[in-house]
Structure 1
Amino acid sequence: MVEQYFSAEPASEDVRRSLNVSVQGHDVQVETSNGVFSGSRVDLGTSVLLREVPDAPETGALLDLGCGWGPITLALSLASPHADVWSVDVNTRALELTAENAKRNGCTNVHVTACNEDGKPLATQPAGVCESMPDDLVFDAIWSNPPIRIGKDALHTLLMAWLPRLKPAGGVAYLVVQKNLGADSLVPWLASALGDDYEVSKYHSAKGYRVIEVVRNA
Structure 2
Amino acid sequence: MAEQGRQHYFSADPGVASRPGQVRVELEDVQLDLRTDSGVFSHSRLDPGTKVLLENAPLPRNRGDILDLGCGYGPIALTFATRRKRLRVWAVDVNERALGLVRENAETARLGNVTACLPDEVPEDVRFGTIYSNPPIRIGKAEMHAMLLRWLPLLQDGGTAYLVVQKHLGSDSLAKWLDAQGLPAARLLSHRGYRLLEVQKSSDRSSQD
With normalisation by structure 2, the TM-score equals 0.91
The 5 Å alignment of 1:109-128 reads 109-115=113-119, 121=120
Partner of 1:22: 26
Partner of 1:202: 187
Counterpart of 1:167 in structure 2 is: 156
1:5-47 deviation per Cα after TM superposition (whole angstroms, max 9, x unaligned) = 1111111111211333325531111110000000011110000
- Of 175, 193, 196 in structure 2, the residue corresponding to residue 187 of structure 1 is 175
| Cα shift readout 1:193-216 (whole Å, capped 9, x = no counterpart) | 2x2xx4321111101100111111
Contact 1:21 1:42 in 2 (8 A): yes
Q: State how far apart, in whole Å, the 1-side matches of 2:23 and 2:135 are.
A: 22
Which residue is equivalent to 2:10? 6
Q: Percent of pairs identical after alignment?
A: 45
1:182-201 CA-to-partner distances (Å, cap 9, x unmatched) read 000011101112x2xx4321
Following TM superposition, where does structure 1 have runs of at least 4 consecutive aligned residues deviating by more than 3 angstroms?
Answer: none
Aligned length: 199
* Separation of aligned partners in 1, 2:89 and 2:25: 20
Superposed displacement of residue 82, structure 1: 0.2
Shift in Å at residue 133 of structure 1? 1.9
Match of 1:35 among 27, 33, 39: 39
Distance in 2 (alpha carbons) for counterparts of 1:32 and 1:114: 18
Q: Is the 8 A contact 1:177 1:209 kept in 2?
A: yes
Aligned match of 2:137 = 148
Question: Can you give the 5+ residue segments of structure 1 that lack an aligned partner in the other structure?
Answer: 116-120, 122-131
Q: CA deviation at 1:138?
A: 0.7
Say which structure is richer in helix.
Answer: 2
Residue 204 and residue 71 in structure 1: after superposition, are their counterparts in 2 closer, same or farther (change >3 A)? same
1:64 is matched with which residue? 68
Q: Distance in 2 between matches of 1:65 and 1:110?
A: 13
> Which residue number corresponds to residue 128 of structure 1?
none
- Name stretches of at least 5 consecutive residues in structure 2 with no aligned partner: 204-209
Conserved? CA contact 1:29–1:104, under 8 Å: no
What's the TM-score once normalised by structure 1's chain length? Answer: 0.87
Question: In the alignment, is the contact (CA less than 8 A) between 1:58 and 1:80 conserved in 2?
Answer: no
What SS does the aligned partner of 1:95 have? helix
* Partners of 2:106 and 2:112 within 8 A in 1: yes
